[in-house]
Amino acid sequence: MTLIIGLTGGIASGKSTVSSYYKSLGITIIDADIEARLAVEKGEPAYIKIVEHFGKNILHADETINRQALGEIVFNEERERQVLNSILHPDIRRRMEEKKGEAIHLGLPLVILDIPLLYENKLEGMVDKTILVYVDEDVQIERLMDRNHLDAKQARNRMDAQLPLSSKRLLADEIINNNQSIENAINQAKEILKKWDVFPCE
């Protein structure tokens, strides 16, 4: 029996750090962001639809998608963000379902689906349990401004594109509080897997 865990968080919450830790344990991680990048590679169906809608101004000279240019549009225009999501999300879900099916077929005891927008896109049905990496809002804004070199308004726009972490924490099976050190968050991540009897043998 394969346990499917959905790992989620918010932008700059530290989810990627927890995901990397789980990967270092040898756990199979299916990452929605990686699948999203693959979905928009030149020539892919989603790539073609995105260029048709947003135009060639969002492309680099080599015709790959300029994620920063596209981000400027979708994080400032709700309607455009919805268009992008309607193109990308079905394709990403299909890719993740395929990989999840392969992992189950192999009989792996544990698979983690790393999905930033797990709750926003109502993907709880893809997983058995959920873990949320949580930070307080003021910490989240500060980390996002520092990490992405944004001003407060830009950071707020990006955060507003997601469900607040305060709402997500009401939906999660387990919560990793990442307001403190990375070591503290990693220890919580470890204890959750032990609690669920799926921590890999050391």
Report if residue 199 sits inside a domain. no
Domain of 81, CATH number, reads 3.40.50.300
Query: Distance (Å, rounded) from C-alpha 108 to C-alpha 26?
Result: 11
Please report where in the chains the tokens 């344990």 appear, as a residue.
25
Report if residue 157 sits inside a domain. yes
Residue 9 is predicted with a pLDDT of 96
Residue 110 near residue 196 (C-beta atoms within 8 A)? no
Residue 113 is predicted with a pLDDT of 99
Query: Distance (Å, rounded) from C-alpha 66 to C-alpha 71?
Result: 9
Residue 59 near residue 38 (C-beta atoms within 8 A)? no
pTM score: 0.88
For 92-150, how does the pLDDT look when each residue is reduced to its tens digit (9 = 90+)? 999 999 999 999 999 999 999 999 999 999 999 999 999 999 999 999 999 999 999 99
What φ, ψ does residue 114 adopt, rounded to 5°? -90, 100
Is residue 121 exposed (0-12), middle (13-18) or buried (19+ Cβ within 10 Å)?
A: middle
Parent domain of 133? 3-194
Query: Distance (Å, rounded) from C-alpha 167 to C-alpha 188?
Result: 20
Report if residue 202 sits inside a domain. no
DSSP lists the bridge partners of residue 133 as 176
Per-residue pLDDT band at 161 (split at 50, 70, 90) = confident
Per-residue pLDDT band at 202 (split at 50, 70, 90) = low
- Please say if the pLDDT value at position 14 is more than 70: yes
Report if residue 151 sits inside a domain. yes
Give how many domains the chain has, as a whole number.
Answer: 1
Report if residue 42 sits inside a domain. yes
**Signed CA dihedral, 103, 23, 11, 151: sign only:** negative
Ramachandran assignment for 149, one of left (phi > 0), alpha (psi -120 to 50 degrees), beta (any other): left
For 23-53, how does the pLDDT look when each residue is reduced to its tens digit (9 = 90+)? 999 999 999 999 999 999 999 999 999 999 9
Report if residue 200 sits inside a domain. no
Query: Distance (Å, rounded) from C-alpha 69 to C-alpha 102?
Result: 35
Per-residue pLDDT band at 56 (split at 50, 70, 90) = very high
- Please say if the pLDDT value at position 201 is more than 80: no
For 74-91, how does the pLDDT look when each residue is reduced to its tens digit (9 = 90+)? 988 999 999 999 999 999
Mean per-residue pLDDT, 16-20: 97
